[in-house]
Chain A
Amino acid sequence: MVFQDFRLFPDFTVYENVAFAQRVVEADKKVMKRRVMEVLSQVGLEGKARCYPSRLSGGERQRTALARAVVNQPVLLLADEPTGNLDQKNAEEIMRLLEKVNRQGTTVLAVTHNQELVKYMHKRQIVLRYGKVVRDLAREGLAYAR
């Protein structure tokens, strides 16, 4: 799960935050180390592994949160306003990473108010109003590409 406000553990480093998800599933130590560095590399944070969240920018924090969410290779990833606290550039970066995660086989369900991003993604859209589905647009074949 990815949150709008990141919800990283402030007293954990970037590495520890991501590794925590591996500890929950009691992954082997070597596997954990390799996997954590792998996802940090995917989100471009391999150089920040020892930093604490307070030393990161908003975009970096969200990328850490994304790395934590995908490190266990989930079947489904829920993203609650993942770009809500980010500027346009970082928002696009996060959406690009979500797209990458999706290509690796994880279903991504993202909630957002940002219409521009939705159009930009070219993915299936489900519009909710007061908790009810009012529109469901499946845009198959329109893969996002820059």
Chain B
Amino acid sequence: MRVRTLLYLCRLGLKNLWHNRVYSAASIITMSACIFLFGIFYLAVANVDALVQKTERDVYVSVFFDEDVLPGRVDEVGKLIQDRPEVLRIVYVSAEEAWSGFKEDYYGDGEVLDGIFKDDNPLAASGSYQVYIDGADWQEDFVDYVSGLSGVRKVTHSADTIRALQQIKSASSRLIAGSAAVLVVISVLLIHNTLAVGIEAQKEKTRVMRLMGAREGFVKIPFLAQGIVMAVAGVCIPLVLLLVSYRWGTGLAVPGLGIYAGQAGLLSEAVVFPGLVRASVCLGLVTGGLGGASVMG
């Protein structure tokens, strides 16, 4: 087929698109709405996931020692812990640091305690290791291991927090998978319907084209061009809207809600959007392909 003919057929597809502009617009808007909703789920889940990962990294296990433990044993235990593959890093907090941190956390400038404890340290036996674990899944096993070591008095960990985080992570993953599945079904049905209406409206025209000797490619290329334009618009429009909304949302959330990057910062566009674009294009291709196939079938 000549390039000139191909261009003519593409133009014909665009003409058909304009001719059936109400159906075309309805289809593009519906697809955009589906992908926009999917994008909102995606952004929410990506941010929750990042928050969960950050929290997992920040949560640590505290290992306390018997009061009469020898300093050498503390170092040995530290080395044993350091050698564990799931351990990211380990920080020793001395009894003085523990008391100082406690006072700062609970009594601020510490004026209220003036003259009460003086040189006495109520946390004298509270020298400990803070152990940061790579992923919450390993924490329970690690705690079992460390608890069994001699010289270790107590091991504290946030098992409930970790379980809650894991549940959030799992629920958010199910949410995105479920929402994507529902949106794919809705989009497939709508695209099927729009294409079927378009084909029905053009049925007589395609019949005449065939009677005039037009080959299958000649008849189908305008529909293909029409479908591509609709799919591109249906993917690009929601992505632009999502980008604008996300910028606006992060601009509003950061100063307004007191969320700052150090604690629970939202992911930047550069981090989250490449994945979203890939997922949306895949969603568009899957829905367009399935919708088209269902019409052809």
Contact = CB atoms under 8 A, between A and B. Distances in A.
A7 B8 contact: no
A23 B205 contact: no
B5 A23 contact: yes
Q: Give the residue among B1, B2, B205 with the most A Cβ atoms within 10 A.
A: B205
A7 B214 contact: no
Given A7-B204, A7-B208, A24 B213 contact: yes
Contacts of B2: 26
A9 B5 contact: no
B99 to A, nearest CB: 85
A57 to B, nearest CB: 21
A7 B210 CA distance: 13
Contacts of A116: none
A78 to B, nearest CB: 9
Nearest to B8: A23
A11 B5 contact: no
A24 B218 contact: yes
Q: Give the residue among A9, A23, A72 with the most B Cβ atoms within 10 A.
A: A23
A29 B212 CA distance: 19
B118 interface: no
Contacts of B278: none
Interface string B195-231: 0000000001100110111100010000000000000
B225 to A, nearest CB: 15
B205 A9 contact: yes
Interface in A1-49: 1, 7, 9, 11, 20-21, 23-26, 29
A52 B19 CA distance: 14
A1 B212 CA distance: 7
Given A24-B213, A24-B218, A29 B208 contact: no
Contact of A11 (B4, B19, B204, B218): B19
Interface residues of A, number: 13
Q: Give the residue among B205, B209, B212, B214 with the most A Cβ atoms within 10 A.
A: B212
Contacts of A20: 209, 212
Given A23-B8, A26-B2, A29-B4, A9 B213 contact: no
Contact of B212 (A11, A21, A26): A21
A54 to B, nearest CB: 14
A89 to B, nearest CB: 27
B209 A24 contact: yes
A24 to B, nearest CB: 5
Interface in B174-207: 204-205
A21 B246 CA distance: 51
A24 B214 contact: yes
A72 B1 CA distance: 18
Nearest to B214: A24
B130 to A, nearest CB: 74
A26 B213 CA distance: 11
Given A20-B212, A26-B4, A68-B212, 11 more contacts: A1-B212, A7-B208, A11-B15, A11-B19, A20-B209, A21-B213, A23-B8, A24-B213, A25-B213, A29-B4, A72-B213
Interface of B: 1-2, 4-5, 8, 15, 19, 204-205, 208-209, 211-214, 218
4 smallest CB-CB distances across A and B, nearest first, come from A24-B214, A7-B208, A1-B211, A26-B5
12 contacts: A1-B211, A9-B205, A11-B15, A20-B209, A21-B213, A23-B5, A23-B8, A24-B212, A24-B214, A26-B2, A26-B4, A68-B212
